[in-house]
Amino acid sequence: MVWNYVLSIKSVILSMFNRLKSYFSSYADITPEDAVFMKNFFEQKSFNSKTILTKEGEPEEYIYFIVKGVVKVYFMHNDREIITYINKEGEVVSAGASFFSRKPSRYFLETLEPVIVICISHANFFRFMNSGPKWQRMCRLLMTEFVLKKERWLLDDLEYSPRERFLRFFNERPDLLLRVPQKQLAAYLNIKPETFSRLKHLIRQTPQARK
């Protein structure tokens, strides 16, 4: 009994270590000791599908690193959902501006599937960042990714027509076509649902239209 318990604890720690490592190894060389240290700041959480993680109007308390599942970021406007991001495992999600400024969030975060995350709270984030040069560097690099992602969105929004947005999405994130309801994808790509269906049909019929 006790042995089984120890084993299961060990496997939880191990899997959390592997997840932390795979997330952050692009930013810094994470030793097993580092991972143990990081566990003081990061927590693992699970959510059912359609759970609201963050509400518009309330401050964002967490940065989430998605281990499994899909999370959408959106706001409501004239009774319509405007989706700003759809994120899946391996990606980071947060109402970042609210997290860092402590102002109310402009966005909702909601799970579209059962989701497992590793997350860090606001208080822990700053404790973590101030606990050594290595972690300061890691937080700066993480922030770099936030900025790059935002800038990418701003450029892409100007650059691409609805058709181009669809094709890019189709080529870069094909798995999400099966996982996310079509209506939501159309809202994310800012394409009319009819246009979305038409483009999807077109690609099925003529694979050469993919380019």
Choose, by CB under 8 A, the member of 8, 136, 182, 197 that binds other proteins. 136
Q: Which residue from 65, 77, 82 is spatially nearest to 21, judged by alpha carbons?
A: 65
Question: Interface with other proteins by CB under 8 A: which range of 29-37, 40-48, 144-152, 197-205?
Answer: 144-152
- Write down the residue that tokens 């691409």 correspond to: 160
HSE, CB side, 13 Å, CA atoms: give it for residue 144. Answer: 8
Q: Give how many residues touch other proteins by CB under 8 A.
A: 30
- Site membership for other proteins, residue 144 (CB under 8 A): yes
Query: In 10 A of CB 147, how many CB atoms?
Result: 10
155-184: contacts with other proteins (CB under 8 A): 155, 157-159
Tell me the β-bridge partners of 66.
Answer: 117
- Site membership for other proteins, residue 25 (CB under 8 A): no
- Site membership for other proteins, residue 41 (CB under 8 A): no
Tell me the β-bridge partners of 111.
Answer: 71
- Site membership for other proteins, residue 75 (CB under 8 A): yes
Residue 114, SS3 per DSSP = coil
**Smallest distance from the beta carbon of 140 to other proteins, in angstroms?**
4
**Smallest distance from the beta carbon of 66 to other proteins, in angstroms?**
19
**Smallest distance from the beta carbon of 148 to other proteins, in angstroms?**
6
Q: Which residue from 99, 103, 92, 108 is spatially nearest to 184, judged by alpha carbons?
A: 108
**Smallest distance from the beta carbon of 157 to other proteins, in angstroms?**
6
- Write down the residue that tokens 């690193």 correspond to: 65
Residue 71, SS3 per DSSP = strand
- Write down the residue that tokens 């991972």 correspond to: 35
- Site membership for other proteins, residue 12 (CB under 8 A): no
- Write down the residue that tokens 């701003």 correspond to: 154
- Site membership for other proteins, residue 82 (CB under 8 A): yes
The binding site for other proteins (CB under 8 A) comprises 75, 77, 82, 84, 96-97, 100-101, 106, 129, 133, 136-137, 139-140, 143-144, 146-148, 150-155, 157-159, 190
